[in-house]
């Protein structure tokens, strides 16, 4: 077919293809520009002094960029404490969820426990606030408010379903033969789990860990109800302290950027795992 078409038509086809490519490039640009422009604006706000942030027409490129806002965030607030709180809660809730959820995902996948899977699914559907009313009362009665434990425990509501859900999918996808061979050779189910299934499921565990950590780190609603002044996690701190006690855009944007930076970096570094995990289950916490 290519031999028959004359040079004129080849030229026309090339031209059409080029136009198509340009159009496609513009479509991609249109899709990603809202994200790029937003995060660049966030960066711009955080690197400008207060005069430039309040200027109209707005100053787009910080000239010169200043780090004063970031310094202020640490000097004027207990930002370090809040960071440690967030680390304790998110790492704790993720670690515990892996310890509990990986075997549970294995058990549900192997026993094909549809009812257990349904409970996890319904937990995913329920609004976060509906857990908070009863748990809030319980923590008050147990006099646990004022510590970080209520936060860590409620974050399990987010992390456990994510881990179980991702792991069910992974264990169902693993080949049965290796495990069955181990069982035939006299291994117990626990040995088959620990030495055969678990090493094979390592990519799944990484996906579950990243997603559980991100959605725990981002969680706001549990902290806003349960955290006291000393036990705020970063999202609550950035909302409470910084937005009310000093209404200036520069430090606020700097604090917002600091809170979300770990998650954005993790996304950039682990995009393959994250895309895989989200495509499979459509998980989201809260």
Q: 62-91: which residues touch another protein (CB under 8 A)? A: none
State both tokens at 103: 């075997």
Virtual torsion, Cα 33, 262, 166, 186, nearest 10 deg: 140
Dihedrals φ, ψ of 92, to 5°? -60, -50
**Look-up of token digits 């010169």:** 64
Told to check if 2 binds another protein by CB under 8 A, we report no
Question: Over the range 65-95, which residues count as b (16 or more CB within 10 Å of their CB) and which as e?
Answer: eeebbbebbeeebebeebbebbebbbebbbe
In the complex, what is the shortest distance from the CB of residue 149 to another protein, in angstroms, rounded to a whole number? 12
**For residues 3 and 125, which CB has a smaller minimum distance to another protein in the complex?**
125
Question: Which segments of 134-285 are extended strands (E)?
Answer: none
In the complex, what is the shortest distance from the CB of residue 67 to another protein, in angstroms, rounded to a whole number? 18
Please confirm whether the linkage preceding 57 is cis (ω < 30° from 0).
yes
In the complex, what is the shortest distance from the CB of residue 7 to another protein, in angstroms, rounded to a whole number? 24
State both tokens at 64: 């010169």
Candidates 50, 75, 180, 230: give the one binding another protein (CB under 8 A): 180
Candidates 16, 58, 173, 203: give the one binding another protein (CB under 8 A): 58
Told to check if 186 binds another protein by CB under 8 A, we report no
CB 158 within 8 A of CB 285: yes
CB atoms within 10 A of CB 200: 15
In the complex, what is the shortest distance from the CB of residue 286 to another protein, in angstroms, rounded to a whole number? 7
In the complex, what is the shortest distance from the CB of residue 6 to another protein, in angstroms, rounded to a whole number? 21
- Closest CA relative to residue 156, chosen from 178, 131, 136: 131
**For residues 7 and 182, which CB has a smaller minimum distance to another protein in the complex?**
182
**For residues 7 and 175, which CB has a smaller minimum distance to another protein in the complex?**
175
d(CA 150, CA 129): 14
Told to check if 239 binds another protein by CB under 8 A, we report yes
* 5 DSSP assignment: S
Told to check if 196 binds another protein by CB under 8 A, we report no
Query: Per CB under 8 A, which of residues 104..163 are in contact with another protein?
Result: 104, 106-108, 110-113, 116, 119-120, 123, 125-137, 140, 153-154, 156-157, 160-161
**For residues 7 and 191, which CB has a smaller minimum distance to another protein in the complex?**
191
Told to check if 51 binds another protein by CB under 8 A, we report no
In the complex, what is the shortest distance from the CB of residue 11 to another protein, in angstroms, rounded to a whole number? 22
Told to check if 56 binds another protein by CB under 8 A, we report yes
């Amino acid at each position: 077919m290519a031999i028959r078409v004359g040079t004129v038509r080849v030229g026309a086809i090339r031209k059409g293809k080029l136009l198509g490519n340009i159009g496609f490039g513009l479509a991609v640009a249109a899709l990603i520009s809202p994200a790029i422009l937003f995060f660049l604006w966030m960066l711009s706000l955080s690197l400008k002094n207060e005069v430039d942030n309040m200027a109209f027409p707005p100053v787009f490129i910080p000239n010169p960029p200043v780090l004063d806002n970031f310094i202020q965030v640490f000097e004027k607030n207990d930002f370090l404490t809040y960071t440690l709180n967030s680390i304790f809660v998110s790492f704790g809730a993720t670690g515990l969820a892996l310890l509990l959820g990986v075997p549970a995902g294995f058990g549900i996948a192997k026993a094909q426990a549809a009812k257990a899977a349904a409970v996890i699914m319904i937990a995913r559907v329920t609004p976060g606030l509906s857990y908070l009313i009863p748990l809030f009362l319980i923590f008050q009665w147990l006099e646990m408010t004022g510590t970080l434990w209520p936060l860590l425990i409620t974050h399990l509501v987010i992390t456990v379903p994510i881990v179980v859900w991702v792991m069910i999918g992974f264990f169902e996808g693993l080949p049965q033969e290796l495990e069955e061979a181990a069982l035939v050779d006299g291994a117990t189910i626990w040995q088959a789990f620990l030495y055969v299934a678990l090493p094979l499921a390592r990519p799944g565990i990484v996906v579950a860990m990243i997603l559980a950590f991100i959605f725990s780190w981002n969680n706001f609603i549990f902290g806003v109800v349960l955290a006291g002044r000393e036990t705020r996690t970063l999202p609550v701190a950035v909302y409470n302290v910084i937005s009310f006690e000093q209404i200036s855009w520069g430090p606020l944007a700097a604090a917002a950027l600091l809170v979300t930076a770990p998650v954005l970096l993790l996304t950039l570094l682990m995009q393959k795992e994250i895309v895989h995990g989200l495509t499979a289950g459509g998980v989201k916490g809260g």
